[in-house]
Structure 1
């Protein structure tokens, strides 16, 4: 991939060299704490373009990620700096994006300086030496504790949390109201039996619901990608307190007995009596379509669905609550590629994209922010101007995106529902062999969807055997 170097001035080059030296000194101090070589050590940066590779921005074309990068470029231009940043969005599913990034960084075929990694990929990219250790202070106490844990591997920081994610339960208020339920008990602590009971009420009142209604709930249960892994981990973690499939070094730490309890929970959640049949081959987009179209009353999905669904459903129609039991933590973290020739400038870009104001911008746009201040500091605002034609408010000041907001402009559910969900979320297994784990895990769970599914005991025994092979 070619780069288009920006204009180089003698003064700007001098400032750049001084900045690199300062970053080197500052990062040496941070590197001592982190136990690894600092990201900004080495020769001065080569002036030019910083390329950030990422998956699709769920806030749409020209979305908030691109807006943040445009703001950084504007500030660099105002300072006369010789760096600009460019966002490259990788096509395909998350699994395909991971393969593209691995191939590009291992071969050096694509000159990426910053990579936006799914939280499950950090151990793999770190262990393979594809990304650089970073200063510890980049992940400070303002970062939500559960989210901050995704940044480390082997005692070192390798990535900085950019935007987070967590499983949530969306539901149709209007359907429940039609069935006579005006105050559903879906707050913190509500278990899956509560949801099943409400689905039973809806089924009993089917004649009062729209003709489109088919079954109680849907989720991403397609075994051909990460969806079934996420749902499986949520069920397994809900079935056993403190459940973990791997230890701190990424080795398998489960047992057949634990797996059997998790399989029982997953089987209970996905009973045909409650679950839309299409869920078995549905991904995020499919389930959003089914839920928005009225085919189901409950939906397990990620935070960005809050904004998306509110474009077609009103507050009287749409509700959101914590996911029953345990919810899986998702999200993406920014890492600096090992082969970058602009390490210092790349690090400054990461600092900008993950600062407090940027996190507030991400929250306002529909992402889950990674910093506590984005949720709790009422004086914190997004300082990035929206591009022409993409304003979130009309000339009279009335918002046009239809997403409910609180008195301080945050999404209305952010502080009371989203933040606690993030704080209480569980991680998927942290291992450099995550790809092998996920493939093995979903491959075995997919047998539950067959014509002759095995018993929980038999499947647990097989799953235990296969995971020991995948995670030696």
Structure 2
């Protein structure tokens, strides 16, 4: 990518916001917010606009601060964010119940990206026809499209990343890769090879890669990435995979079983078997404790891995087969304040909001300027000791931007009206087989997934 592109963000976004001090930020947000045409905004009376969202895990509640900033500039149209339980399945249930009941008190919903198709197809979301989507990265924007129409705008995005022990020179006995070797990991064959070399050279590791393979949505994402990184191609507009006996996908799933069970040396396998009980927090802890030289995780893990007492330096590259994550904001079709709700969604997903969530909230942005800004600033500052880099530019910005916008971009999960049922069937059918057998029985997997997708 041309070097001059990395300096765009701060000039265009943050200088106008007073070097990103919050008062200065307010001025920038005021400039943006007052561009909105308020003539069609409904009177909200004494009932604030209501946003249903998962727990705000941003540093210092940056999402809530954005809502408060909206309220500052639009006191006649205040909004409130109602936080749902931290468990994704419970969030889905609460949002589904509110939309199914056609609750007019819910105006905006914050959706995990694979939920958009199901709620849009059921008529629960208002199409965002005519919204200015200029500057939004292609893949996060695509995640809000169903049947050719846009229903949701990306609030924050996410993508699978591969964390490793970094150093100036590779040293397999210490589990360390240099940047060149790490960046050569573009498929699972390469990752498997490096994991084997390190496990052969170091008897202290329990496994090669820590992943999220407990029986929840993280299992679906991690296995989908494994399939894609081993050459399996989704097909059709719904982006599904053929799991019929004899298919490439079934062969690759058996390779995953081998990576979980076949010893590279005594007691160590390519994929840490405990991953079958791991969620994000568990896998992160295993990597921090030195049980594996590699970790599959989301972008937010980078900041958590910069601790001075970790004992090793951490690098990051795009995860082979990386799948898109994140949340997108949509307007409820049952809201009686749809025009002002749409303006609120545009405000919360706009350029300055994205910069704030990226720099202060730790999220991955759905617009390129925050990455350009961080990369340009990191180049100006030069190489820094991770222990001294807190509060500085995000030094993983280049790798994260490449994961989101390089090549074809990250993969999208299946575009199914009943995606949550599909994912649950995928987990329930496959997880016990991988956990309980070196040679998983995959007969009937296709039928179970078809039944779930069709609601049978």
TM-score by length of 1: 0.76
Contact preservation (8 Å) 1:46, 1:341 = no
Contact preservation (8 Å) 1:90, 1:97 = yes
Matches within 5 A, 1:167-206: 167-173=160-166, 177=171, 179=173, 181=176, 183=178, 185-187=181-183, 190-206=186-202
> Which residue of the partner structure matches residue 413 of structure 1?
396
- Out of 300, 325, 334, the position equivalent to 1:339 is 334
Structure 1 CA distance for aligned equivalents of residues 387 and 353 of structure 2: 20
Structure 2 CA distance for aligned equivalents of residues 465 and 63 of structure 1: 44
When residues 176 and 269 of structure 1 are mapped into structure 2, their CA distance, relative to the original with a 3 A threshold, is: farther
Alignment size in residue pairs: 399
Contact preservation (8 Å) 2:103, 2:335 = no
Once the two structures are TM-superposed, the CA of residue 178 in structure 1 deviates from its matched residue by: 7.0
Q: Tell me if 1:373 matches 2:366.
A: no
Q: Tell me if 1:254 matches 2:237.
A: no
> Which residue of the partner structure matches residue 68 of structure 1?
66
Once the two structures are TM-superposed, the CA of residue 297 in structure 1 deviates from its matched residue by: 1.5
Matches within 5 A, 1:419-458: 419-423=401-405, 424-455=409-440, 458=441
Contact preservation (8 Å) 1:327, 1:426 = yes
Once the two structures are TM-superposed, the CA of residue 218 in structure 1 deviates from its matched residue by: 0.8
> Which residue of the partner structure matches residue 114 of structure 2?
120
When residues 366 and 285 of structure 1 are mapped into structure 2, their CA distance, relative to the original with a 3 A threshold, is: same
Structure 2 CA distance for aligned equivalents of residues 197 and 379 of structure 1: 31
> Which residue of the partner structure matches residue 51 of structure 1?
50
> Which residue of the partner structure matches residue 107 of structure 1?
101
> Which residue of the partner structure matches residue 4 of structure 2?
none
TM-score by length of 2: 0.78
Contact preservation (8 Å) 1:69, 1:85 = yes
Once the two structures are TM-superposed, the CA of residue 119 in structure 1 deviates from its matched residue by: 0.2
Matches within 5 A, 1:122-271: 122-138=116-132, 140-173=133-166, 177=171, 179=173, 181=176, 183=178, 185-187=181-183, 190-206=186-202, 213-223=205-215, 225-240=216-231, 242-244=233-235, 247-248=236-237, 250=238, 254-256=242-244, 257-271=247-261
Once the two structures are TM-superposed, the CA of residue 339 in structure 1 deviates from its matched residue by: 2.3
Once the two structures are TM-superposed, the CA of residue 252 in structure 1 deviates from its matched residue by: 5.8
Q: Unmatched 5+ residue regions in structure 2?
A: 1-33, 263-268, 378-383
Once the two structures are TM-superposed, the CA of residue 111 in structure 1 deviates from its matched residue by: 2.4
Contact preservation (8 Å) 2:257, 2:438 = no
CA-based RMSD of the aligned residues comes to: 3.2
- SS in structure 1 opposite 2:109? strand
When residues 283 and 49 of structure 1 are mapped into structure 2, their CA distance, relative to the original with a 3 A threshold, is: same
Q: Tell me if 1:467 matches 2:455.
A: no
Structure 2 CA distance for aligned equivalents of residues 91 and 187 of structure 1: 37
Structure 2 CA distance for aligned equivalents of residues 226 and 450 of structure 1: 16
When residues 20 and 141 of structure 1 are mapped into structure 2, their CA distance, relative to the original with a 3 A threshold, is: closer
Matches within 5 A, 1:303-318: 303-311=299-307, 317-318=313-314
Structure 2 CA distance for aligned equivalents of residues 379 and 261 of structure 1: 40
Matches within 5 A, 1:10-25: 20-22=38-40
When residues 135 and 402 of structure 1 are mapped into structure 2, their CA distance, relative to the original with a 3 A threshold, is: farther
Q: Tell me if 1:85 matches 2:70.
A: no
When residues 402 and 64 of structure 1 are mapped into structure 2, their CA distance, relative to the original with a 3 A threshold, is: farther
When residues 110 and 329 of structure 1 are mapped into structure 2, their CA distance, relative to the original with a 3 A threshold, is: same
Structure 2 CA distance for aligned equivalents of residues 266 and 294 of structure 1: 22
Q: Unmatched 5+ residue regions in structure 1?
A: 1-15, 24-42, 382-397
- SS in structure 2 opposite 1:300? strand
When residues 354 and 399 of structure 1 are mapped into structure 2, their CA distance, relative to the original with a 3 A threshold, is: farther
> Which residue of the partner structure matches residue 293 of structure 1?
289
